[in-house]
């Protein structure tokens, strides 16, 4: 008998922010929460977010350093922020903005071993919640993602701030959040793991909440139903990734999104809009395998997308002039070795992706 104790550790789960505060006007409480970490905070925000939230930092004992406004999570912005942190030595980082700004703030906080508070200014993503950052190249194309060691220390969801964002951002968030079901139900396979089953079932509940409440919510910003949909896109979508961990990862819908970012014509469309279209592509790929359930799921989504204004086709994504060569390029990128598309339970070729991309709105086959 050996004396060595073998510890079989399962992967660490970063499930949720340590504290989640929600409410209309809740942001006014942020400075006092930040003081627990020290007296100096570095605020990383987008141009618009800086303007919307500036008044909250006017009368406070905190010393606030405002980083120059950023729009993207790029290596250049991370290097710029690292310099500011080296010089200013803040006690805490505050990220205020959309997904790309929050990803930047989370990643630089992780690299600098500093606590992080996130403040989403739109309902467009669950980035304020998750322990993940996506990094993009200077050309706007997706470059790589980084898994962080934990979710944010503080997350402030101020509905008044989110309600002031363009309506389209919440619509996009709905597209990103609903992907959780279509992707996690595939990536989890036939897992019998308690946490994975729970996450996938939560993703189904999330989908149903969005089907039921999205149209009403979009028509009535800052209403009770609107707040529930914001909770679904900003919080529940993040919780699913946290509980499910690596088994509830992105699949083809996000792989198609990532590939689409390589086309500059798509830079005017939002993350969740491209992901929503990517779900339709994923379902087409499943249909090619003879999966009839995928056909009815796709038609259910087409109706939903039309109702709330999500793109259903390349033309809706502003790609009506896209060339065959460009489509071939995207399809090849989507099928690169490290692509999430390979989490599908069957192999996928670039030509199948291309065929799926151009047929997202194809009608139901007529049954006799």
CB of 267 to Zn ion, least distance (A): 16
CA distance 274 to 319: 11
Nearer to Zn ion, 67 or 155 (CB): 155
Nearer to Zn ion, 57 or 129 (CB): 129
CB of 127 to Zn ion, least distance (A): 8
Backbone dihedral region of 69: left (phi > 0), alpha (psi from -120 to 50 degrees) or beta? beta
CB of 265 to Zn ion, least distance (A): 20
CB of 213 to Zn ion, least distance (A): 20
Of residues 165-184, those binding Zn ion (CB under 5 A) = 176
CA distance 290 to 297: 13
Nearer to Zn ion, 34 or 273 (CB): 273
> Under rule CB under 5 A, how many of the chain's residues touch Zn ion?
1
Give the residue closest to Zn ion by C-beta.
176
CA distance 26 to 86: 31
Nearer to Zn ion, 43 or 308 (CB): 308
Distances (CA, A) of 361 to 15, 55, 178, 291: 36, 46, 18, 16
CA distance 357 to 285: 9
Nearer to Zn ion, 92 or 275 (CB): 275
Pairing, β 142-147 against β 132-136: antiparallel
Nearer to Zn ion, 34 or 176 (CB): 176
CA distance 105 to 66: 12
CB of 279 to Zn ion, least distance (A): 11
CB of 209 to Zn ion, least distance (A): 17
The neighbouring-strand residues paired with 119 are: 96
Site string for Zn ion, 119-158 (x = CB under 5 A): ----------------------------------------
Nearest to 116 by CA among 30, 222, 208: 30
Nearer to Zn ion, 115 or 202 (CB): 202
Distances (CA, A) of 35 to 28, 39, 41, 88, 346: 13, 6, 9, 17, 51
CB of 176 to Zn ion, least distance (A): 4
Q: Are 119 and 234 in contact (CB under 8 A)?
A: no
Q: Which residues bind Zn ion (CB under 5 A)?
A: 176
């Amino acid at each position: 008998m050996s004396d060595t104790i073998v510890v079989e550790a399962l992967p660490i789960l970063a499930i949720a922010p340590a504290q989640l505060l929600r409410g209309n006007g809740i942001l006014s409480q942020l400075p006092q929460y930040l003081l627990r970490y020290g007296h100096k905070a570095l605020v990383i925000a987008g141009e618009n977010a800086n303007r919307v939230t500036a008044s909250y930092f006017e009368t406070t004992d905190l010393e606030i350093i405002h980083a120059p406004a950023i729009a993207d999570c790029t290596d250049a912005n991370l290097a710029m922020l690292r310099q500011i942190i080296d010089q200013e030595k803040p006690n805490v980082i505050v990220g205020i903005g959309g997904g790309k700004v929050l990803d930047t703030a989370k990643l630089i906080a992780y690299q600098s071993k500093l606590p992080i508070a996130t403040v989403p200014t739109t309902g467009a993503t669950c980035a304020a919640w998750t322990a993940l950052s996506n990094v993009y190249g200077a050309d706007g194309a997706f470059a790589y993602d980084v898994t962080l060691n934990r979710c944010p220390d503080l997350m402030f969801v101020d509905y008044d701030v989110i309600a002031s964002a363009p309506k389209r951002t919440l619509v996009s968030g709905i597209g990103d959040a609903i992907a959780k079901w279509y992707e996690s139900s595939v990536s989890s396979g036939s897992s019998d793991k308690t946490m994975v089953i729970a996450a996938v079932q939560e993703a189904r509940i999330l989908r149903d909440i969005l089907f039921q409440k999205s149209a009403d919510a979009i028509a009535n910003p800052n209403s009770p139903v609107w707040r529930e949909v914001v909770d679904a896109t900003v919080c529940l979508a993040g919780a699913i990734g946290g509980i499910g961990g690596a088994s509830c990862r992105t699949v083809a819908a996000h792989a198609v999104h990532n590939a689409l970012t390589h086309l500059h014509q798509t830079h005017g469309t939002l993350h969740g809009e491209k992901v929503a279209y990517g779900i339709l592509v994923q379902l087409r790929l499943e249909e090619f395998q003879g999966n009839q359930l995928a056909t009815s799921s796709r038609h259910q989504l087409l109706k939903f997308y039309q109702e709330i204004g999500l793109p259903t086709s390349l033309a809706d994504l502003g790609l009506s002039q896209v060339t065959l060569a460009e489509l071939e390029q995207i399809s090849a990128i989507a099928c690169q070795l490290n692509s999430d598309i390979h989490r599908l339970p069957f192999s996928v070729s670039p030509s199948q992706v291309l065929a799926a991309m151009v047929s997202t709105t194809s009608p139901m086959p007529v049954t006799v």
